[in-house]
């Protein structure tokens, strides 16, 4: 079997948090590769705008609510009949010293960044298992491999480490039934999530001086990898954690 170049012609691709930041660039890249898009976003205005621009479908979804996720998956299957790929991109970050993190903040971060990824994998996975094929792409972080500095973000780092290991666990369970589950772990990427940190001169200096390439990444530099992992160009990959970080974790 020979690997193919990336194309997603007429494939049904869901992107959670697909209306802004990295998710929006992933949505654009999936569309450019030929996919039929579903944007599963919490904020209606953001999701609607992206769906309109990219001629996709918007389904309001809160990934922390498993019934919202299962309704979203059911709606996609009702209108398209199948799911070829889901990109679990929705995520949040909080920068709080660990001794000051409240129970509520800990649970909020874990519920979006880890519970949400699991609910989406499980609900889309059920449909993919019925089909006998499907690609799941989880957006982890290099924060699941190293702990960032100087900003404190233990809950985020713990959740992202969980996403990487969840990916490997599901890949092993589902490989024999036709599913591939992979993870992308970005380094620092210029989005609304990192805007405030990048404007802080101490953080910016630490981030850039720890990155061999000396710059932040563009969301499109994550999106191209997501298309690759969604497509049959990565047909022999499952359980992989693809780190895309300008070299950060190599130092
Ligand atoms: P943004 O803050 O720009 O976007 C986050 C997205 O997640 C938004 O679309 C947001 O939707 C969505 N979202 C948040 N909570 C929920 C929820 N409960 N249900 C559904 N959607 C939700 O972040 P980025 O684009 O920077 O991050 C995207 C992913 O990449 C995240 O998983 C993040 O952890 C990861 N990442 C980012 C890095 C970076 O440097 N930027 C580095 C490493 C990983 P809404 O608009 O509705 O709020």
pLDDT digits (tens, 9 = 90+) for 107-137: 999 999 999 999 999 999 999 999 999 999 9
pLDDT value, residue 2: 63
pLDDT digits (tens, 9 = 90+) for 175-203: 999 999 999 999 999 999 999 999 999 99
| 156 classed as catalytic | yes
Domains of the chain: 12-240 (3.40.50.720)
pLDDT digits (tens, 9 = 90+) for 149-168: 999 999 999 999 999 999 99
Nearest Cα to Cα of residue 64 among 110, 26, 32, 14: 110
CA geometry: angle 66, 119, 125, nearest 5 deg: 125
What is the CB-side half-sphere exposure of residue 37 using CA atoms within 13 A?
Answer: 31
Pocket test for ligand 1, best of 22, 110, 114 (most atoms within 8 A of CB): 22
Residue 3 has pLDDT above 70, yes or no: no
Structure token pair of residue 157: 């780092």
Confidence of residue 246 (pLDDT cuts 50, 70, 90): very high
Q: What SS3 class is residue 229?
A: helix
Distance separating alpha carbons of residues 134 and 246, to the nearest angstrom = 29
Q: Cα(62) to centroid of ligand 1, in Å?
A: 12
Atom in ligand 1 nearest the alpha carbon of residue 93: 34
pLDDT digits (tens, 9 = 90+) for 75-117: 999 999 999 999 999 999 999 999 999 999 999 999 999 999 9
pTM (global) more than 0.75: yes
Residue 5 has pLDDT above 70, yes or no: no
pLDDT digits (tens, 9 = 90+) for 30-51: 999 999 999 999 999 999 999 9
């Amino acid at each position: 079997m020979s690997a193919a170049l990336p194309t997603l012609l007429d494939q049904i691709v869901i992107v959670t948090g697909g209306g802004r930041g990295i998710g929006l660039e992933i949505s654009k890249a999936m569309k450019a590769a030929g996919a039929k898009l579903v944007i599963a976003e919490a904020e209606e205005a953001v999701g609607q705008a992206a769906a309109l621009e990219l001629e996709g479908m918007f389904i309001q979804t809160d990934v922390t609510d498993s019934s919202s996720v299962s309704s979203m998956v059911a709606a996609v299957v009702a209108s398209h009949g199948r799911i070829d790929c889901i990109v679990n991109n929705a995520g949040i970050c909080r920068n709080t010293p660990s001794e000051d993190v409240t129970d509520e903040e800990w649970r909020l971060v874990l519920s979006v960044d880890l519970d949400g990824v699991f609910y989406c994998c499980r609900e889309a996975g059920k449909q993919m298992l019925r089909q006998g094929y499907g690609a799941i792409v989880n957006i982890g972080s290099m924060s699941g491999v190293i702990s960032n500095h100087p900003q404190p973000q233990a809950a985020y780092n713990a959740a992202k480490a969980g996403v990487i290991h969840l990916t490997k666990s599901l890949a092993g369970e589902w490989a024999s039934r036709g599913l591939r589950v992979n993870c992308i772990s970005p380094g620092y990427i210029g989005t609304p999530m990192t805007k405030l940190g990048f404007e802080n001169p101490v953080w910016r200096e630490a981030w850039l001086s720890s990155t061999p390439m000396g710059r932040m990444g563009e969301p499109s530099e994550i999106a191209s990898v997501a298309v690759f992992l969604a497509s049959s160009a990565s047909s022999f990959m499952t359980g992989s954690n693809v780190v895309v970080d300008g070299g950060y974790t190599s130092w």
